[in-house]
């Protein structure tokens, strides 16, 4: 997905990102695994804002949303995992 504007990520200019189901974004490629990985040794550039075992298959689960806008006059990109369920198709602990 295009971010919509360039960002500086520790000295590297990036224009795209991948939204991960399990509460993170990556920049070089998406992740397809279902098992959470150790973030300390992860070779990818990753921001794990809500690192969890998310599962949105339950009809009562919330959905993952993302988009661009502005915050205090500055361009911004946000992702939310609002009221999402968790593995294995549970949705009884949404907040």
**Cβ partners under 8 Å of residue 70, min gap 6:** 76
Residues β-bridged to residue 69: 76
Residues 35-72 have pLDDT tens digits of: 666 778 878 888 998 888 899 999 999 999 999 999 99
In contact, 54 and 84? CB cutoff 8 Å? yes
What is residue 36's predicted lDDT score, i.e. its pLDDT? Answer: 66
User: Which residue in the block uniquely carries the two structure tokens 């946000």?
Assistant: 78
pLDDT-above-70 percentage for the chain: 91
Band (pLDDT 50/70/90 cuts) for residue 16 is: very high
């Amino acid at each position: 997905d295009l971010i919509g504007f360039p960002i500086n990520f520790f000295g590297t200019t990036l224009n795209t990102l991948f939204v991960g189901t399990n509460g993170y974004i990556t920049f070089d490629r998406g992740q397809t695994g279902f098992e959470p990985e150790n973030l300390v040794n992860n070779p990818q550039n990753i921001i794990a804002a809500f690192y969890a075992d998310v599962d949105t298959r339950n009809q009562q689960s919330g959905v993952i949303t993302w988009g661009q806008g502005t915050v205090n006059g500055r361009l911004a990109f946000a992702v939310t995992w609002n009221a999402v369920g968790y593995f294995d198709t549970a949705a009884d602990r949404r907040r």
